[in-house]
Amino acid sequence: MECFIHASCGSTSGSVAMFCLVSRLFTPPFLTAASMVVSSRSYADFTPEATFDIKKVDLHRLEEGPPLTATLTREEGLKYYRTMQTIRRMELKADQLYKQKIIRGFCHLYDGQEACAVGIEGGITLSDHLITAYRAHGYTLTRGGTVREIMAELTGRRGGIAKGKGGSMHMYTKNFYGGNGIVGAQVPLGAGVALACKYLGNDQLCVSLYGDGAANQGQIFETYNMSSLWKLPIIFICENNQYGMGTSVERSSASTEYYKRGDYIPGLRVDGMDVLCVREATKFAADHCRSGKGPILMELQTYRYHGHSMSDPGVSYRTREEIQEVRSKSDPISMLKDRMLSNNMASIEELKEIDIAVRKEIEDAAQFATTDPEPPLDDLCSHIFATDQPFDVRGATPWTKLTSTS
Amino acid sequence: MLHRRDGSRFPPDVTLGIQAKEFNLGFIRPDNLVSHGLRVFRCLLANSKWASSVSLFQVNVQDALNQAMDEELERDERVFLLGEEVAQYDGAYKVSRGLWKKYGDKRIIDTPVTEMGFAGIAVGAAFAGLRPICEFMTWNFSMQAIDQVINSAKTYYMSAGGQPVPIVFRGPNGSSAGKLTNIYCFAAWYGHCPGLKVVSPWNSEDARGLLKAAIRDDNPVVFKANELMYGVPFDLSEEVMHKRLCRTYRKGAHITLVSHSRCVGFCLDAAAVLAKEGVECEVTRVCELATFQLQVKQWRRRGWLLFLWATNKLCYFLIFFLHFICTYISVSVSYDQKELLDIRTATTHLKLG
């Protein structure tokens, strides 16, 4: 029996030690030396918790903002690191598969913005609701999807999260409403979900995300009005990655202070590359909503490394130097890694092992996504209507007969 | 139907008296010509063969819709109504009269004049498990929100059955009296959207039954009534649910007249006139426009098929839709080698909106 001390990353209690002790007692003597695999440092050497200074948040119509320090435990740190690394690797794998034409259609990649998804999830719970636009792979993962399901959905196979019928922009999990193709349309939908939370009185809230390009949409302002009027528990989050497709914020918006665009709605401008900053701001915003004060708006200043979508090289409207500079100075994963290493919260080997495990997970998922069969032809017409009797669907010609089932 | 200011109605004999007075020429002035015409028209409607004779269960379409919503609001806590002027104003066309007083602010919600916003909010509420009724003041204003209506229909499919959208979009559709704008019929526009159920009732029984069925349905339903039918009384039976897709109001052997909403009334009138000349017409109302259940067997017996549709004659969607229907019928009927001539009528190609 082997004893994996280093793999139980989440344990800070003596359970690991107990497990090792017990396994030593029951391991046959001739196996003891060969089968014990230990890391160079045991868990007791690591700092269980540390407090970090985070950037001050710009406020609009608020007296106080989120705190200037954030506490991170070792488990949380490793969890955030693993999730962000998974999103990064998954997006890079999707890039690779797209170039091999295994993934087709729309594919909008999220690498560079991982701190937003992971930080927001750190500030809310899985019983809260979230809705976003088309750059949704990261959120599908943080909201309960698995890498296998996401990649199989991208390749359009039956093992996908929407059985291969939704694709990149239509992934749904419990309390996660996609994945929406029309720019800005998801914001009123999010307010509707918040209305349902208030109607049902369940103390949940809805996070409704949009980008800097969508921030100029009229329906978003209509939504600000109604959610403020009816005091809906909604957090509006503008993920400002500086470019709406190929148009920089200076060229698209008369006012680039997106956190002030809500006017009568309080706003925060947050460093979106720092997962702790995002987490603290989200917690603050969630408290604001849950106390019945109504909506709040957050602008996360972040950056995407890839172009708008796979058809965009991403360098015609910005320079490679700019992308390189952000990568070297503000990469969210590197920032968290440096913090944990410099505060002795994890070892380099441990983080490398997480990297290896993540790579393996992504490889397995890609393998599954490539080999899983496509949905059967019978599925073409199913799910047109819910809870209906099967009915005939008109095909491309009058004599084509197709049947729909719910 | 003529109403007293307190909401009660004049009995028919008084209606006739007022009708007689309306024909007094001294009463007509240039500035009230249109409203006079409207009053005469309404009197005629109230006393035409469409309006049934006075009975205890006579209900006009407006009240039938009101009853349907009231019953469903009472039956299911998740149902709520939102739209412009639906609460304190009692509805722009008084369809939601009394509901706000009974159910309060939580369930009958007045919205600002922001169709795209509140239609999206209604769809989002449906995502999260509620059963909203979203009212557009007229379907012309739904153009502001058409993206939210159409895309609500795709969600169940794109999520492979994971995310149903149990929403009803309601409002008056089509022509109104004396108006030159906001009178377009959107049946053909929405009828082409897969995943969206489009219903267009004619009389009170259809209106009540179909609205109840629409609210209980787990799919997005577009419910179009006609504003001119709101005031017309019909006999209302006790039948609650009414899901028949095509309904035949008059049997006949020579020609089939197919229509929806208010035009059914014109078809019935035409059938009555033709009957005097010995031509027997079958008048059928199509209720659900998207999944058009063609009663081909019935129509095979006759060689003439007439569609009466109150939309723009050269509307692309209408042409496509009717062409499909006619082609389908032509192909099916050709097996029996019957000669089929179909005629489409619609409004003159003047303008939209």
Q: How many CA atoms within 13 Å lie on the side-chain side of A69?
A: 5
Q: Kindly state the tokens that stand for A255.
A: 């006012």
B127 contacts in chain A (CB < 8 Å): 177, 189, 192-193, 196
**pLDDT band (50, 70, 90) for residue A187:** very high
Q: Give residue A239's identity as a one-letter amino acid code.
A: E
CB B1 within 8 Å of CB B231: yes
Cα–Cα distance, B262 to B264 (Å, whole number): 5
Cβ–Cβ gap A391/B163 under 8 Å:
no
Going from the C-alpha of A180 to that of each of A120, A144, A183, B154, the distances in angstroms are 19, 18, 8, 11
pLDDT for the residue B245: 56
CA separation for the pair A277, A268 (Å, rounded): 11
Mutation pick from A106, A143, A193 vs chain B, by most beta carbons of B within 10 Å, is: A193
Task: Kindly provide the b/e burial profile for residues B248-275, where b requires at least 16 CB atoms within 10 angstroms of the residue's own CB.
Answer: ebbebeebbbbbbbbbbbebbebbeebe
Q: Where is B102: in which H helix or E strand?
A: helix B99-103
pTM: 0.80
Nearest Cα residue to B224 out of B178, B129, B131, B290: B290
The residue with greater pLDDT, A33 or A126, is A126
CA distance B83 to B111: 5
Q: From CA B152, how far away is CA B169, in angstroms rounded?
A: 11
* β-strand partners of A206: A129, A234
Nearest CA in chain A to B111: A226
- Interface-testing mutation among A199, A202, A399, with chain B (most B C-beta atoms within 10 A): A199
Average pLDDT over residues A106-127: 97
Nearest chain A residue to B155 by CA distance is: A170
Cα–Cα distance for residue pair B1/A26, rounded to 1 Å: 92
Q: What is the pLDDT of residues A135-178, one digit of tens each?
A: 999 999 999 999 999 999 999 999 999 999 999 999 999 999 98
pLDDT of residue A206: 98
Angle at A324 between CA A321 and CA A326, to 5 degrees: 110
Contact A285, A57 (CB under 8 A): no
Side chain identity, residue B196 = L
β-pair partners for A60 = A267
- The size of chain A, in residues, is 406
Mutation pick from A168, A219, A379, A402 vs chain B, by most beta carbons of B within 10 Å, is A219
φ/ψ of B158, rounded to 5, equals -70, -20
Q: What is the pLDDT of residue B154?
A: 92
pLDDT of residue B339: 44
Tell me the shortest Cα–Cα distance from B127 to chain A, in angstroms.
7
Rounded distance between C-alpha atoms, residue A99 and residue B19, angstroms: 77
Instruction: Tell me if A226 and B114 make a contact (CB, 8 A cut-off).
Output: yes
Beta carbons within 10 angstroms of residue B285's beta carbon: 25
Nearest to B130 among A164, A196, A388 (CB): A196
Chain B: residue whose CA lies nearest to A405: B161
Contacts A172 to B, Cβ<8 Å: 159, 162-163
Contact call for A192 and B151, based on CB within 8 A: no
A13: Cβ contacts below 8 Å, ≥ 6 apart: none
The CA–CA distances, whole Å, from A155 to A160, A164, A384, B182 equal 8, 7, 22, 46
Nearest to B127 among A192, A226, A386 (CB): A192
Q: What is the average pLDDT across A72-86?
A: 97
> Could you give all domains of chain B from N- to C-terminal order, each with its CATH number?
59-237 (3.40.50.970), 247-352 (3.40.190)
DSSP letter at A378?
G
Query: 3-state class of A48 per DSSP?
Result: coil
Domains of chain A are 49-390+399-404 (3.40.50.970)
Instruction: Report the 10 Å Cβ neighbour count for B217.
Output: 22
Q: What is the distance between the alpha carbons of residues A250 and A382, in angstroms, rounded to a whole number?
A: 45
Q: What residues of chain A lie within 8 A of the CB of B125, using their CB?
A: 192-193, 195-196, 199
Distance CA(A338)–CA(A340), nearest Å, equals 6
Q: Is the pLDDT assigned to residue A192 strictly greater than 80?
A: yes
SS3 B320: helix
For CA atoms A383, A388, A394, A395, give the dihedral sign.
Answer: positive
Q: Measured between alpha carbons, how far is residue B330 from residues A398, B298, B314, B323 in Å?
A: 11, 14, 21, 10
Query: Contacts of residue A222 in chain B, CB cutoff 8 Å?
Result: 112, 114, 116-118
Q: How do strand B281-286 and strand B131-135 relate by DSSP bridges?
A: unpaired
Tokens matching residue B36: 């006079």
Chain B closest CA to A199's CA: distance in Å? 7
First to last CA, chain A: 50
pLDDT score recorded for residue A38: 44
Instruction: Closest CB to A162: pick one of B109, B126, B158.
Output: B158
For residues A246 and A315, give the distance between their C-alpha atoms in angstroms, rounded to a whole number.
9
Secondary element (H or E) of residue A391 = strand A391-394
Spell out, as residue ranges, where chain B has pLDDT lower than 50: 1-28, 43, 46-47, 51-55, 291-300, 311-324, 326-340
pLDDT of residue B17: 35
Quote ipTM for the complex: 0.86
Nearest by CB: A191 against B121, B162, B324: B121
Torsion of CA A249, A250, A255, A259, to 10 degrees: 30
Alpha carbon A33 to chain centroid distance? 43
Q: Of A191-205, A308-322, B339-353, give the range with the top mean pLDDT.
A: A191-205
Instruction: Kindly list the residues from chain A whose CB atom is less than 8 angstroms away from the CB atom of residue B320.
Output: none
**DSSP one-letter code for A343:** T
Q: Radius of gyration of chain A from Cα atoms?
A: 23
Of A182, A398, A406, the CB nearest to B147: A182
CB B306 within 8 A of CB B256: yes
Taking contacts as CB-CB distances below 8 angstroms, the residues of chain B near A206 are: 128
Separation in Å, CA B275 to CA B47, B247, B254, B267:
20, 20, 10, 12
Decide: B117 and A232 in contact? Cβ < 8 Å: no
Q: Which of B114, B163, B218 sits opposite A222 (nearest CB)?
A: B114
Cross-chain residue pair A199–B80, CB shorter than 8 Å: yes
CB contact (8 A) between residue A223 and residue B127: no
Inspect the interface and report whether the beta carbons of A225 and B291 lie closer than 8 Å.
no
Which residue, among B180, B321, B336, B349, has the nearest Cα to B260 in the 3D structure? B321
Give the pair of three-digit tokens for residue B115: 């169709």
Cβ B150 vs Cβ B192: under 8 Å: no
Per-residue pLDDT of A90-108, as tens digits, reads 999 999 999 999 999 999 9
Question: How many Å lie between the alpha carbon of A403 and the closest alpha carbon of chain B?
Answer: 13
Are B331 and A129 a contacting pair at CB < 8 A?
no
Distance from CA of A262 to the nearest CA of B (A): 15
DSSP secondary structure code for residue A304 in this structure: -
Burial of B85 (0-12, 13-18, 19+ CB in 10 A): middle
The nearest CA of chain A is from the CA of B79 a distance in Å of: 11
Q: Is the pLDDT of residue A56 over 80?
A: yes
3-state secondary structure of A243: strand
Distances (CA, A) of B273 to B9, B247, B281, B285: 31, 21, 10, 19
Looking at the DSSP bridge assignments, the partners of residue A270 are A300
Amino acid at B297: K
pLDDT at A390 over 80: yes
Quick one: pLDDT at residue A116? Answer: 98
Helix A147-154 to helix A74-99 angle, to the nearest 10 degrees? 20
- Annotate A38-56 with b (16+ C-beta within 10 A) or e (fewer): eeeeebeebeeebeeebee
Query: Do residues A118 and A275 lie in contact, with contact meaning Cβ atoms separated by under 8 Å?
Result: yes
Residues A265, A228: contact at Cβ < 8 Å? yes
Residues of B in contact with A159 (CB under 8 A): none
Q: Do B324 and A189 touch (CB under 8 A)?
A: no
Tell me how far apart the alpha carbons of residues B2 and B6 are, in angstroms, rounded to a whole number: 12
Tell me the CA distances in angstroms from A60 to A226, A232, A261, B259, one per residue in order. Answer: 19, 19, 10, 57
Residue A335 confidence (pLDDT) above 60: yes
C-beta atoms of B129 and A200 within 8 A: yes
pLDDT at B44: 54
Contact A58, A109 (CB under 8 A): no
For residue B174, give every residue at least 6 positions away whose Cβ sits within 8 Å of its Cβ, in sequence order, or none: B139, B183, B184, B185, B187, B224, B226, B227, B261, B262, B310
